[in-house]
Amino acid sequence: MNMLILNIPTAIFLLSLLFPLAAIFWFRHSCNKHRTPLTQDLLRGPGDSIRKVIQKVDEDIDTYLMMIVVLPVTCYAVYITDRYAAKDHAHWVVYVLILVLSLIYFTLKLAQSLKQRNNLRLGLDCEIAVGQELNRLMLGGHHVYHDFLADKFNIDHVVVGPNGVFAVETKGRAKSDKNREADDVKVIFDGDVLKFPEWTERNYLPQARRQADWLANWLSSAVGEKIPVKPVLVITGWFVTILKPCDVLLASGKNIHLVIPKQRENTLTGEQITRIAHQLEQKCRNVEPLAYKKNP
């Protein structure tokens, strides 16, 4: 009789698993009777790569929260079972120590993940904002692609038009909320580094150049002729003051759709634009429709 009572929680737990399993079975059965009306994959949107990372971080946060909630009850249940079922049981201090150390660990992991998610959300917001401004260029005949996957990195945006190809790198940095004065939202470029109010940034421009060089080599190989690519760096939401221009086009997010059409360094024919756009679309049209997937 005692064994039967002890097994009741296990039986309840196993029975509770039947409900989600039944829902998954019904869903898969329903999907087998229908299919999506779309006949091709979708184009990548702004920040698609970041969205996937945010989803993974969200799952980690859910795990850490669950562990913080479940651990006290689990430790108490193990302690009670050990105390009344085992002859030689550990002292309660051991369980308290294990619980405290575990809670500290998962709390620190939770705090790190929350901070990481906030930074990722900032990057996503900025990529979406810049992407929406760049999409306005399509009214003038430009082709715009987002989140272009390269070799172990991605190019935030690629723009193709009669005045050339542009590899756009978007950067989102939070502003200080101390004084809200004009100087707190300005970044100065002296021809070498970007000077923010509280720090100096040296890595943004080399990154933009590397990505443009990679895209130029890839397009030249894919199209069969040399295709120059102009590097563009967008400091989203900041007022950019350029003291000395360089090979990288600098802009803020709001004026990027006005700055790019003014560039006249490279020109492309209609045939070149068509071939370049075809190659870019083949790489960017790889988002599988979400509805009626065979796996939930």
Matching residue, tokens 């006949």: 39
Q: Which residue has the higher pLDDT, 123 or 175?
A: 123
Contact (Cβ atoms closer than 8 angstroms) between residue 131 and residue 253? no
- The predicted pLDDT at position 153 comes to 92
124-173 confidence digits (pLDDT tens): 999 999 999 999 999 999 999 999 999 889 999 999 999 999 999 999 88
**How far, in Å, CA of 126 to CA of 175, rounded?**
13
Using DSSP, state whether 179 is helix, strand or coil: coil
- The predicted pLDDT at position 113 comes to 97
Taking residue 149's Cβ as centre, other Cβ atoms within 10 Å add up to: 14
pLDDT category, 209, cuts 50, 70, 90?
very high
- The predicted pLDDT at position 294 comes to 58
Answer whether residue 18 is part of any domain.
no
CA 36 from chain centre, in angstroms, equals: 26
- The predicted pLDDT at position 161 comes to 95
User: Which pair of structure tokens corresponds to residue 1?
Assistant: 């009789």
Answer whether residue 128 is part of any domain.
no
Q: Which amino acid is at 33?
A: K
- Which residue range forms the structural domain that includes residue 189? 141-287
Q: Which amino acid is at 227?
A: I
For the chain, percent of residues with pLDDT exceeding 70 = 86
- The predicted pLDDT at position 182 comes to 64
Residue 110, pLDDT above cutoff 80: yes
53-89 confidence digits (pLDDT tens): 999 999 999 999 999 988 888 887 777 766 666 566 6
Number of domains in the chain: 1
Residue 3, pLDDT above cutoff 60: no
What are the strands, taking DSSP E only, across the chain? 42-43, 143-149, 154-161, 164-171, 186-189, 194-195, 200-201, 229-235, 239-242, 249-251, 285-287
Answer whether residue 249 is part of any domain.
yes
- The predicted pLDDT at position 71 comes to 87
**How far, in Å, CA of 140 to CA of 30, rounded?**
44
Matching residue, tokens 């071939």: 275
- Rounded to an integer, the average pLDDT of 270-294 is 89
pLDDT category, 2, cuts 50, 70, 90?
low
Answer whether residue 57 is part of any domain.
no
215-273 confidence digits (pLDDT tens): 999 999 999 999 999 999 999 988 888 999 899 999 987 888 889 999 988 889 999 99
Answer whether residue 222 is part of any domain.
yes
- The predicted pLDDT at position 9 comes to 58
User: Which pair of structure tokens corresponds to residue 242?
Assistant: 């350029």
Answer whether residue 164 is part of any domain.
yes
Residue 102, pLDDT above cutoff 60: yes
Kindly report the average pLDDT of the chain as a whole number: 87
- Rounded to an integer, the average pLDDT of 196-225 is 94
Answer whether residue 178 is part of any domain.
yes
List CB contacts of 248: < 8 A, sequence separation 6 or more. Answer: 205, 208, 209, 231, 232, 233
**How far, in Å, CA of 12 to CA of 25, rounded?**
21
The DSSP-derived string for 207-275 is HHHHHHHHHHHHHHHHHSS---EEEEEEETTSEEEESS--SSEEE-GGGHHHHGGG--S----HHHHHH
**How far, in Å, CA of 215 to CA of 97, rounded?**
55
Answer whether residue 80 is part of any domain.
no
